[in-house]
């Protein structure tokens, strides 16, 4: 019996490499609240990512909740239904009404051509997602935002390390939010970060993630507890030492899939990196109508071989019970997003996935 293969497998460096970090925490007895590892990790991440300022947080979801609070976003926010449910949930946690706009079928990110029709006097921001690490159409989104006086927040949970020709994609918009959940390309077990354009904004975010405390006795806003602990920050520092080799392995897996699947009728691949430096975080395939079996039948077939591909993102956020009655959630408004939710299958990709296993997975797909 072969080992099951899951869609993602977290990188874990040898335990011995982590023990010195733990010893240091045990020695200095600083466990959280912006301790030494937290500070070192923020600095090291800024250097690796090529950004000036960021604030660590306990997970990406609280990062999104805090980013919206920091920007004073209220009323309605335009967002994509094709994402992980936390994107829209972060709006509900701020009592903001999500307004879903359809995606571009080529990139599976928010379609800028459809944004303006959804803007109302209550709209205060656009929350877009760099889906599977593919950069949103940032220039078009920014020009719409500028024209209508809207804030722009990027859910960059998939976009760790993604760069375009001018630098990190995380520099776009007013704030970008990363997730370091165990299933992501770069993880700290749980964790996340808010990328900020300047020191003043970072300080504001630092206060908001610590209950709104600005000093020992002064609380200025109803902030949340979104702090990252020293153990997670130390683990992040260790992970950063291994990230380049991990990304290089993912690049091999991605290339092997692309080569083996490119000629298969009925299987559509999303475009490659192009001008971007991407992170190979997911390997989505679109199972089109001319493929011999349905997307769900392929998913079941792989399962029968203990290969656990995932239907990210199915169901569509707009079809979950807390969203489905919104006018913008109706299927007629979201034709491309519904189509994608019914076609996409994310195949396993992680640094430890062998090329033999890639071949085995591809052969099952080709033999369908
Ligand atoms: C993982 C993910 C999140 C949530 O991040 P957590 O760190 O798990 O809270 C938000 N948005 C997207 C698109 C994600 O993939």
> pLDDT tens digits, residue range 22-33?
999 999 999 999
Domain contains 203: yes
Q: Which atom of ligand 1 is nearest to the CA of 190?
A: 7
Domain contains 125: yes
Residue having the nearest C-alpha atom to atom 6 of ligand 1: 60
Contacts of 78 (CB under 8 A, 6+ apart): 99, 101, 110, 115, 118, 119, 123, 125, 126, 127, 150
Contacts of 156 (CB under 8 A, 6+ apart): 130, 162, 169, 170, 176, 177, 178, 195
Domain of 267, CATH number, reads 3.90.1150.10
Domain contains 6: no
For ligand 1, mutation pick of 179, 281, 310 (most atoms within 8 Å of CB): 179
Domain contains 275: yes
Residue having the nearest C-alpha atom to atom 5 of ligand 1: 60
Residues 94 and 207 in one domain: yes
Distance CA 244, CA 265 (A): 34
Residues 322 and 220 in one domain: no
Domain end: 201, 225, 240, which one? 240
For ligand 1, mutation pick of 62, 63, 80, 87 (most atoms within 8 Å of CB): 87
Residues 217 and 343 in one domain: no
Residues 213 and 260 in one domain: no
- C-alpha 87 – ligand 1 centre gap (Å): 7
Domain contains 5: no
Residue having the nearest C-alpha atom to atom 8 of ligand 1: 181
Q: Which atom of ligand 1 is nearest to the CA of 62?
A: 9
Residues 236 and 330 in one domain: no
Residues 149 and 286 in one domain: no
When the pLDDT of each residue in the chain is averaged and rounded to a whole number, the result is 97
Summarised one tens digit per residue, pLDDT across range 215-268 is: 999 999 999 999 999 999 999 999 999 999 999 999 999 999 999 999 899 999
pTM of the model: 0.98
- C-alpha 291 – ligand 1 centre gap (Å): 31
Domain of 219, CATH number, reads 3.40.640.10
Residue having the nearest C-alpha atom to atom 7 of ligand 1: 60
Q: Whole domain around residue 317: which residue ranges? A: 243-366
Summarised one tens digit per residue, pLDDT across range 134-169 is: 999 999 999 999 999 999 999 999 999 999 999 999
Domain end: 184, 208, 240, which one? 240
Residues 163 and 267 in one domain: no
- C-alpha 184 – ligand 1 centre gap (Å): 9
Domain end: 188, 209, 240, which one? 240
Residues 61 and 197 in one domain: yes
Per-residue pLDDT band for 271 (boundaries 50, 70, 90) equals confident
| Ligand 1, CB cutoff 6 Å, lining residues | 59-61, 83-84, 86-87, 129, 155, 157-158, 179, 181, 192
For ligand 1, mutation pick of 10, 56, 60, 67 (most atoms within 8 Å of CB): 60
Residues 225 and 302 in one domain: no
- C-alpha 279 – ligand 1 centre gap (Å): 16
Report the domain count for the chain.
2
Residues 140 and 153 in one domain: yes
Domain contains 3: no
Domain contains 206: yes
pLDDT value at position 1?
58
Residues 177 and 202 in one domain: yes
Residues 159 and 266 in one domain: no
C-beta of residue 156 within 8 angstroms of C-beta of residue 99: no
Domain contains 256: yes
């Amino acid at each position: 019996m072969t080992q099951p293969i899951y869609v993602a497998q977290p990188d874990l460096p040898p335990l011995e490499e982590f023990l010195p970090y733990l010893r240091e925490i045990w020695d200095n007895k600083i466990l959280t609240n912006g301790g030494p590892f937290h500070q070192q990790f923020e600095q090291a991440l800024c250097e690796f990512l090529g950004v000036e300022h960021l604030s660590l947080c306990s997970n990406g979801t609280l990062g999104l909740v805090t980013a919206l609070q920091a920007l004073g976003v209220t009323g309605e926010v335009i967002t994509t239904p094709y994402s992980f449910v936390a994107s829209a949930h972060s709006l509900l946690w701020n009592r903001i009404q999500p307004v879903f706009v359809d995606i571009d079928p080529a990139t599976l990110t928010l379609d800028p051509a459809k944004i303006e029709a959804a803007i109302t006097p209550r709209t205060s921001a656009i929350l877009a997602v760099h889906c599977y690490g593919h950069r949103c159409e940032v220039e078009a989104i920014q020009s719409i935002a500028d024209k209508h006086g809207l804030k722009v927040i990027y859910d960059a949970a998939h976009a760790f390390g993604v760069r375009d020709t001018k630098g990190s994609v995380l520099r776009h918009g007013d704030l970008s939010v990363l997730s370091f959940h165990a299933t992501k390309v770069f993880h700290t077990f749980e964790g996340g970060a808010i990328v900020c354009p300047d020191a003043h904004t970072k300080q504001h975010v630092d206060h908001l993630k610590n209950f709104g405390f600005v000093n020992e006795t002064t609380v200025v806003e109803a902030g949340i507890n979104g702090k990252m602990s020293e153990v997670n920050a130390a683990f992040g520092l260790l992970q950063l030492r291994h990230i380049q080799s991990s990304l290089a392995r993912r690049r091999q897996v991605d290339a092997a899939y692309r080569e083996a699947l490119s000629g298969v009728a009925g299987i559509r691949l999303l475009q490659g990196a192009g001008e971007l430096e991407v992170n190979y975080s997911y390997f989505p395939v679109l199972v089109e109508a001319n493929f011999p079996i349905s997307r769900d039948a392929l998913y079941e077939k792989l399962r029968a071989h203990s290969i656990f591909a995932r239907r990210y993102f199915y169901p569509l956020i707009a079809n979950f019970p807390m969203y489905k009655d919104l006018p913008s959630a109706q299927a007629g408004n979201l034709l491309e997003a519904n189509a994608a939710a019914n076609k996409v299958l994310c195949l396993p990709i992680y640094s430890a996935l062998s090329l033999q296993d890639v071949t085995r997975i591809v052969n099952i797909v080709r033999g369908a």
